[in-house]
Structure formats: structure tokens, C-alpha cells
Structure 1
Amino acid sequence: MLQKFLSLANKRCLNGYKSQVIPSKFDNIIIAMSSGVDSSVAGALFAGSYPNARGIFMQNWSKDEASLDDGKEACFEKDWKDVVKVGSHLNLPVDYINFEKDYWIDVFEPMLDVYKRGMTPNPDINCNRHVKFGKLVDHLNSKYGENNYWLVTGHYARCLKSTEDSQTHLLKSYYKNKDQSYYLSQIKNGILSNLILPMGHMTKPEVRELAIEAELPTAEKADSQGICFVNNSQHGKFKNFLQSYLPESKGNIITIDPVSSEKIIWGQHQGLWSYTIGQKIGLSMPQGDPRYKGTWFVSEKRNDTNEIVIVKGRDHPSLFQRQLQVKDFIPIGISKEQLINLCNSSTNSNELKIQYRSLQDPIDVESIKINPNEDSSMITITLKESQRAMVPGQYCCMYINDRVLGSGIISKTRI
């Protein structure tokens, strides 16, 4: 199975990069296992050939109200049972570790704070930064010693050494339909050289094929959706979930007359956190009046007046911006000085791209201005074309070709 994977990885070797590094036989190999098919296959790749391979399962959340209320098992309990089954099938020992307190402090509470301020956070990126590649790495460093182990995960991305400088870079997945490099764009530089991401070299159908070939108990398990504390979340369920933790702060939902600037109130919201910019809003508008007939979307959230402004049509001009400011940008696999030189080089202008959502088409950059200060870097990015619904609080990830250069938080956008 490992040879089949290596054959695929070598065949898809990325220009300018060395082949996937493979551990020596007696190296410590730790596979982060979540119970999904991807991490199960990651475990299967190393379980048979490496005597010092073992899995690790992280419990980051237990307050699964939806399951506990009707007497069912919590999600983490079902996931742990699946991981145990996979470990037993592979003869792979699996450790269990609880990071729930760390998740609450470093991911969940900051997420609530961002929502309270009317912005849209990304808890998945912060979970990777602070827990899966933060607290877990600290734990492994303490147990095995720094650089004395390999961490293997089921993420769809690649960590490869450059042929130019032998530095390890974080890269997009070969299979772009599942690429997760955006979600990994805030992890610490120090872990890259010890990180193996085998899924990044394969397509999802190929992963499923390997899982069936290995007769894994999770081979047919459906992919998980949404963030860990709202399983298979859609907006309605997640909105109800947030209500349990955020105070109600009702305000008006309004339109602005483009000629008179008059406000018209159409309803109320429960808090600025209850909608995000660009989202369709389900209000009953007078469909008999051509001025209001159609679908309406959130275009602005006003903190000073606690108002949400809506506009008609998904492609309304006010939903599109061409410039954004990004704060607290953290470079990955590159120094701040190298990043500045890279962004200032005109030869790279056609290769630099950004994404402000995962799995969106890369967006062309016209210019990037970096203003470093003592604590962070504030970056102003001008795009070649305006983009829809770039929302403060989201992460902006910068790429050059397939390589991740880092990411930061969108603080402001301009038309």
C-alpha cells in the first residue's frame, strides 16, 4: 500500500520540489486520527511498515447538545470508537488526548468575540493553528523531543522541500477539489519539516480505493461537514447554536434609498452575528412592487447603529470590493523580508494570488503593499477585478503558484 502511494506521489512530483520525504524504518511516526477515511488511510500507509508508528485521537469538543438531548452518543464518542476499530484492524496502537479546554480558550471563545463584533471568523483555521498543530505539537515535542518524530495527518495539502533552497514549503493539494491548504495557512513554520500530508498527492476516489483495498472499517464513511461543534452544519442550525452563547441584541434590517438616502425598516435581526455579508436574507418583501421584487442580500453591518443593510440581487455593486486590508499577516515557510521582496518584484505579479475562502478559484492580484510595524504586518492588497462578499474577520491567504505564503485577517474592504 505504501509503495502504491509513493508511486503516485513520485509521478505527480511538483516542478521545483523534491519527492515526498519518507521516514526511516525506526522513526517515531504519529498519525493524527479523526475517524474519517482520510486519516484512516494515512494510518494504514504507515502501520504495517513502521514499528514505531502509532495513532493519536484528539477530543476537542464534548458539548454536543443535539446528540445528548435525544439520548444518543456524542460525536466524539462515536468518532473514538471508529478510531479504535481502525487501530485494531491495522494493529496500530492509538492514544487518546483531551484538548477541550485549549480548544475552548484558543478557538471557541475568540470565535464568539469576533461574531459579537459583527465580523465573520474562521474557527477551522484557528483550530489548526492552536490545537491540531499547536497543542498537539507541544505535546509531541514534550514526549518525543523536537524534530524526533513525524506527524502525519489526513489533510489535502503537501509539504515538500524546494530544490532551490531545501526549505520545506506548504503547497496546495494535487486534487484541487479537496484542497485544504487555506485551512493550514496559519500553522507554525517549525512543524513543516516534520509534517507528512499523504492525501495531498492523491485524489479522493484514490483514497477511497485504498481504504477499500485495506478493508478499513471507515472505508465507506461519509465525509464530515462543517465545524466540529456543529456537525453537518447549515446556517440555520449554526445560527441556533450561536444563540446559546451570544446575547440577543436586536436591531433593524433596512434598505437605503439611493436617491434620497432614506432608510426603510423591513424587519429585525437578533444580533449582527446572525447574518454575514453576501448572505441571502429571507424577508417578505412586497413582490407586487417592482422596486422590491426579487431576492435580497446582506451588504453591510453597521456597528454604530446596530443595523443590517440589505440590497436587491446577488450581483448588486455594493457586494463587490477590489481592495482589502489584511492585519496580523503570518508568513509561512518564508521570512517577512523575503515576503516583502517577493511582493515588490514585478516579475511575480502574474503569479501572486489570494483566496478569502477555501476551494474558491485563485484571485489575481494587481498590487500588494506591506507596511511592517513592531507587532504585525498590515498588508493592502488591490485585486485585478472586484470580488463578491469579502468579509472582515475572514482570513486572506496568499499564494504564489501552488505555494502558500501565509495568511492574515481581513480588517477592511474598499470598492
Structure 2
Amino acid sequence: MLRVVVSTLPALRPLLRRRPLLNPKPPTRSRLPQRTFRALSSSAPPATPAPSAAGVGEAVEVEEHLTRCAAAGRAPLRVAVLVSGGVDSSVALRLLHAAGHRCTAFYLKIWFQEDFRNFWSECPWDEDLKYAQAVCDKIDVPLEVVHLSDEYWNHVVSHIINEYRCGRTPNPDVLCNTRIKFGAFLEAIENLGFDYIASGHYAHVVHPSVENTDAPSLLQLSKDKIKDQTYFLSHLSQSQLRRLLFPLGCIKKDEVRRLAAQMGLPNQGRKDSQGICFLGKVKFSEFVERHIGEMEGIILEAESGDYLGNHRGFWFYTIGQRQGLRLAGGPWYVVEKDVQNNVVFVSRNYYSLDKRRCTFRVGSLNWFDDSGPGNSERLKCKVRHSPEFHDCTVTKEHTEENGDVLVVHLSEDDQGLAAGQFAVFYREDLCLGSGIILDSWDEMSFPVCSRALEIARLEDKSSLGKPVRIINLEHIVKPEQEAIKAA
């Protein structure tokens, strides 16, 4: 039987009671007030020897380099540790405990996690919370369960729905970090005496020394470049960043797995979670259909204007998408969308050299250092969460519509530029910050022919008749070829 924890922290008790979902409100970016940097907790007791890395009575050595990103040199601190029941957050908690910090674990229950009966026959978070509780019991660390469903709806889910209705492609994981995990939650515990919030993210935060508290905290790439999650953390404010610890920033994933086994953690063999943070086992198409609905539209070939088939609504598709089009003669790729007329344009030539994209604009800029990058500075950037970087040059501009923007010129082309996604900028291993992709607007954007544009604007599309049947000639075997194969 799962033990549901009742918080002993008075400030969190209102968040433990389930409240009805509020009407969606315009999402606001959480901006915490500037807080004086505290290297040590004034309420912390004198330092004590670090506990063993296993459990009570189990002697497992933790090498010094493994606790470097856990701020072992500043122990003891009071740390609020976000746990999910997964291996990463559990090892992060164990390393902080081993470094000598006073830890309290927190499990956040957010979107869908109490309305699961609409989608599943069993509770989607029950197993996660059981594992989190088992890990905390082994280490003898208290676990608090915090409800943030309303906050998640108001500041993440409603924004995602509105963005898809406008034809853009938002990133819910970036918003979840900024507005919930290190936004609403950080604000909820602001007056409880915690020095830092920690989690199992693969990233490294370098905080200023006690002698230089006015300097900004820095976000650096983790040691594991494949698992690195600085992309998802790039839109945090400086006041949020300076309150964070990421103990896994100095460790690679395979070493985390080894540590989980060495520490005897109950979830050591558990698989990593995949997909969008709030969906769990719900398919993305089901989420979109439930909250936006369906509206039949047509699919046109961008180069010819040929009518190829129908779709359920432009919001189910993003630029560069290949899966789910159900068109013969492909592969086909989504290359443009007409939001006003609910038309999706596709092409089989998405990767042809004359249709590549290398210039785009970025707005809603956020820099960890107020100055940001220099004008015409050469940087590295990511336009999606992956280990891959683009070399780029950035130019600053100011527009009436979007305020300060960056014009980004990539050194090589990228076909996956989608409005609404984040572009994140780096100077070597240092993450400078990020912005939201507004559009791709250079002369090499994917062209849509005039015939296709005219058909898209037709009010009565029933006159188009039946879709054109496209055959992929590469898969047709001629009689003479059959004869050669037979011989």
C-alpha cells in the first residue's frame, strides 16, 4: 500500500489539497525576486562526516569527484531535492546526502496525475511515488508530496494548447522547468530555509564564491554531452539559476547506473522515462485531440499544388514531420502550414540542396548574464534537444512587433526550424541563454508554388474531387528488370 505523505511544512499544506482545475489564464513567466546569495545556511548545524553512499550500516565509498557538483565543499546545506522515482533523481539525492547536506525530498504531482481515469485503468504516478518513497526510506530522508496541478494547467498546458492553435511548436519541458519545478515550487518553499533546490538534470551550475556574491551563476554543459539537459534549462532567470544544484553535472550516465547498483537503490534497474514530461503514457495525438479537437483540412504538394489527401487539423503537424501523414509514394515531409485555411503543405524534396534553411529570427530572449552575446559574435547553438550543435553568427536587432531579437545565421543548413521551439546559445561549454524561434525568413525558405497557395485559399474545396494518387517510381520494377533478376 502506498503511503501518502502529509507535509510537516505549513507553507506547503495548501498545495497538498486537491483543488478543481481553474479556467486557463494567460501564462506568465515566473520571475522570482532577487535574493541575496547564501553559500551556507544560517540555520544549518556544524558539519558532520558524510554518510555512506549505501544505506545505514552499508559502507560504500563515494569518490570525491562524484560529489563535486553536489557542492560538497559547502556542506552542510539545506537542500530541497526533486525526485521522480527514476534513477537519475535518486542518485542525485544520494550524492547530496553523501556530501553531508540536510536533504528533504519532494515529489511533484502535476498535470494528468489525478485525472488518470480518463486515460488509464491504473494510476500513472503510483509506481513512481512508490519508488521515490522506497529510495527515501533507504536513506532515511523525508519525502513530501506536493500538488501543482492548477499551476501546471495555468502556466504550461494552457500555453501549449494556445501555441498549437496558432500553428507553433512549443517545448513543454522548457516551460515546466521555468514555470513549475523551479518557478511555482521554488516560490512555495521560498521562506522555508532551503539554500538550494536540486534535481537529477544533467547540467552543471557554477556558483560565485562567497567573496564575489555579486557575480552571476553560470550554466555549463554536463560531462555527459549526450544526456546533457542545458537545452531544457536555458530559459531560467538568473535568480532561479543561483538557487539550483545539479549533482549529476559531473557524471556520465553509465556511471550513474553503476552508482545506483553500488548504492543498492531499489530502482537501480528501472528504465529511463521518455516523451513529454506531463503526458506519461498518453499519446501526444490523444492529448491534442482532447483539448483542441479535430477539423478536417487538405494536404497539398508544395511544388505542384496537387491535392494528396486530408488531415485532422494543422495542429497535429510540425515542420519537418514525416510520420503520420499516411500518403503513398513518399517519404513525405511537412514543409509549411496555412493556419488560416487549415492546409498542410508537404514535399518529397525536403532535403534537396536548394530548399534548405540557414537563417532565422529569435525573440523572447533570456540571458543568464544581462549583457548576452556580442553583436556579430560567433557562437554555437542548438535548435532542438540533441547532442548536435550548429556554428552560428548572431546579429542583434530591435523590432516594434517583437522587441529585441537575434538574427541567427547558421554555418550549415537545418530543415527542422519550427516556430515556437527554443534556440539555445553557447560559448564553448558555457550556456548563455535562449530565445524562441519566430520564423525562418531567408530567401532559401521552402517555396510553396502559387497554384498551391491559390488552392489553399479556396472556400469550397469539395470541387477538388479525389486526391491525386502519387506512385513512387523508385519502387516500380519494370518487366526487363524482373527478367534480369530471374536470370
Q: 1:309-356: CA deviations, max 9, x gaps? A: 100145135762111111111112x00xx22xx3226xx52xx11111
The 1:374/1:387 distance shift into structure 2, 3 A limit, reads: closer
2:98 is the counterpart of 1:35: no
2:277 is the counterpart of 1:241: no
Indicate the residue corresponding to 2:107 in structure 1. 57
Q: 1:374-407: CA deviations, max 9, x gaps? A: 9852111111222112000101111111111111
What is the letter of the counterpart of residue 375 of structure 2?
N
Separation in 1, partners of 2:321, 2:114: 26
Indicate the residue corresponding to 2:47 in structure 1. none
Query: Which residues of 2 match residues 63-78 of structure 1 at below 5 A?
Result: 63=113, 69=119, 71-73=121-123, 75-78=124-127
Indicate the residue corresponding to 2:339 in structure 1. 303
Separation in 2, partners of 1:68, 1:218: 28
2:360 is the counterpart of 1:327: no
- Asked if 2 retains the 8 angstrom alpha-carbon contact of 1:171 and 1:181, the reply is yes
- Asked if 2 retains the 8 angstrom alpha-carbon contact of 1:114 and 1:121, the reply is yes
- Asked if 2 retains the 8 angstrom alpha-carbon contact of 1:33 and 1:39, the reply is yes
Indicate the residue corresponding to 1:356 in structure 2. 383
Indicate the residue corresponding to 1:4 in structure 2. 62
2:213 is the counterpart of 1:155: no
After superposing the two structures, state which structure 1 stretch, 40-49 or 396-405, moved more. Answer: 40-49
* Superposition CA RMSD, Å: 2.6
- Asked if 2 retains the 8 angstrom alpha-carbon contact of 1:133 and 1:188, the reply is no
Q: How many residues align?
A: 381
What is the letter of the counterpart of residue 304 of structure 1?
Q
2:412 is the counterpart of 1:385: yes
Indicate the residue corresponding to 1:252 in structure 2. 298
| SS of aligned partner of 1:132 | helix
- Asked if 1 retains the 8 angstrom alpha-carbon contact of 2:335 and 2:350, the reply is no
After superposing the two structures, state which structure 1 stretch, 164-173 or 64-73, moved more. Answer: 64-73
Separation in 2, partners of 1:355, 1:60: 28
What is the letter of the counterpart of residue 357 of structure 2?
Q
| SS of aligned partner of 1:219 | coil
Q: Which runs of 4+ in 1 moved over 6 A?
A: 64-67, 162-165, 372-375
Q: 1:297-318: CA deviations, max 9, x gaps? A: 1000112322111001451357
2:267 is the counterpart of 1:228: no
Separation in 2, partners of 1:207, 1:283: 39
Indicate the residue corresponding to 2:175 in structure 1. 126
The 1:195/1:311 distance shift into structure 2, 3 A limit, reads: same
What is the letter of the counterpart of residue 344 of structure 1?
N
- Asked if 2 retains the 8 angstrom alpha-carbon contact of 1:178 and 1:204, the reply is yes
Indicate the residue corresponding to 1:366 in structure 2. 393
- Asked if 1 retains the 8 angstrom alpha-carbon contact of 2:62 and 2:98, the reply is no
Structure 1, gaps ≥5 residues long: 11-18, 287-292
Structure richer in strand, relative to its length: 1
Indicate the residue corresponding to 1:112 in structure 2. 161
Q: TM-score, normalised by structure 1?
A: 0.84
- Identity in percent: 28
Structure 2, gaps ≥5 residues long: 1-51, 54-60, 445-487
